[in-house]
Amino acid sequence: MPKTKAGRGGGVRPGLPVDEDGLLVVDGSRNMVVPALVFHELRRVGVRILGRGYWGIAYQTGEALARRAAAEMRTRLGASADSLAIVRELSGWARAHGWGRDEIVSLDLGSASAVVRTHGCAFDAPDAHGRDAECPLSCGFWAGILEVLSGRPTLGEETRCISKGDPYCEFTVGPAPPGGPGPA
């Protein structure tokens, strides 16, 4: 009989396909359930050591994840799936995994442009309220998605952020400037 007892002390969480060795495989990829606090601490320590350099690391991490996720979603949905369907699937995936709820405000692949809002963004740390946007990983993610779907280099900017007191985080993606170095 499989051990599925919930609760503290090492029981397997019901509803999560975690095996006895602690492997949680979802859609063919290994996953971890981590508190958002892990990302908040990573940001705090990253900024303390690297300053703004942390943003570049997180942004490019988001871009890399997006390239992979978009390619996998394209394979799963089939070659005929349109780009909006891929974006909606990725957005649904993020919501189902507790990252927040995305609102696609605009999407224009012809100009490699999009505006996406995230309500209840998981990356906003309670102690981060200030002047800086705090969600470069999400920003890089959306820039990467637009890059894959449009086939053009993109650049994203977080124009509004819950951490700055805005009601939601808003990511604006557009084509990268010609010859530009990409995100700082």
Q: Strands 154-160 and 101-108, how do they pair?
A: unpaired
Among 70, 148, 161, 176, binds Zn ion (CB under 5 A): 161
- Considering the complex, what minimum distance in angstroms separates the CB of residue 26 from Zn ion? 25
Residue 155 vs residues 33, 91, 152: alpha-carbon distances, Å: 30, 19, 10
Residue with smaller CB distance to Zn ion, 12 or 137: 137
- Minimum Å gap between C-beta 152 and Zn ion is 25
Q: Which is nearer to Zn ion, 149 or 161 (CB)?
A: 161
From the list 94-102, 104-112, 156-164, 170-178, the region that binds Zn ion by CB under 5 A is 156-164
> What is the spatial distance between Cα 136 and Cα 6, in angstroms, rounded to a whole number?
35
169 is a contact residue toward Zn ion (CB under 5 A): yes
- Residue 38 CB, shortest distance to Zn ion, in Å, is 17
Size of the site for Zn ion (CB under 5 A): 3
Minimum distance of Zn ion from residue 40's CB (angstroms): 12
d(Cα 150, Cα 83) in Å, to the nearest integer?
9
Cβ nearer to Zn ion, comparing 152 with 160: 160
Cβ-based nearer residue to Zn ion, 135 or 148? 135
* Options 38-46, 50-58, 145-153, 159-167: segment touching Zn ion (CB under 5 A): 159-167
Q: Which is nearer to Zn ion, 13 or 52 (CB)?
A: 52
Please tell me whether residue 176 binds Zn ion under the rule CB under 5 A: no
Tokens of 35: 């508190």
135: contact with Zn ion by CB under 5 A: yes
Q: Any long-range contacts for 121-125 (C-beta under 8 Å, 24+ apart)?
A: 121/161, 121/162, 121/168, 121/169, 122/36, 122/39, 122/98, 123/36, 123/39, 123/40, 123/43, 123/169, 124/161, 124/162, 124/163, 124/169, 125/39, 125/40, 125/43, 125/44, 125/163
Contact yes or no for 171/139 (Cβ under 8 A): yes
Q: Residues interacting with Zn ion, by CB under 5 A?
A: 135, 161, 169
